[in-house]
Structure 1
């Protein structure tokens, strides 16, 4: 009787694991399709880099744009995703993969606080090739929707005491500046590094 009960419980656990795996896979696939179903993801922009120079999207023609929209005052998600991007690039470099064709970009969704000076202090914490981009709020409000990025202030009682809710994607554009791939929170640095390696070695 105990043996039969053990077998039945084993079957239940196995079936549950399979079902959970399917749900996870569906969520993963769904996450990847959030942006890929769009017809026009990406667009032109003229922003200011953390070095103070003016940067246009056309400056990166011939490179894969590896883009994250976030803000430097973000308490958790943004640093994690930027470190993930950094880790992926470093994994590639440790295997002697040339990453010069990949341009990591951080575009702020909090331009009121993310000034050039603020980003100049923030960006050195990540991969040295990262470029932080900012502008005035009106410009960012035009650029972000082109990449299907939603953001809004939330909470806070003072001028600087607030958070910014925003879409949490890492967007990969091809060398011509067209949308190529979306990475979500469930993608690991190793998975991202593998994908990028395949692209740059084609």
Structure 2
């Protein structure tokens, strides 16, 4: 209250009657309120506006924090890891997860129309798998699997032609 009484002593707050006729104070209070009462009325209106603004800000911030908390807690969905899958090999035969049980699987994700890197990387994978099979003689067989990321153009016929070209007979 001390701050507002200090502010009311400024000359610019003591408005002439011409300005008061256009002010926000209701007409019925203009003639009956003394300058001190007018200042109290303005103070209370300011309090109401500030309290309302603070309430709106608090509610909106609380909602934002609740949404952020839900996202950080992972309530928006969990990935499906380790489930069964269905693939088609280069001969058109279906492959499932159970076909690869008890085997080491070497996955390669690519596409047939990759001009440079894909065939080179697959040749490296073939070399690595051959070395592992010859040198290490693993307990479980190593099965290389080519997973196409371009299923529209990489049909089983195209994959079969690619596999015979590069002699990848044991690939799925």
The TM-score bracket by the shorter chain reads 0.3 to 0.5
Structure whose alpha-carbon radius of gyration is higher: 2
Work out which structure has the larger RCO, using CA pairs closer than 8 Å and 6 or more positions apart in sequence. 1
Q: TM-score scaled by structure 2?
A: 0.48
Higher strand share: 1
Higher helix share: 2
Q: TM-score scaled by structure 1?
A: 0.41
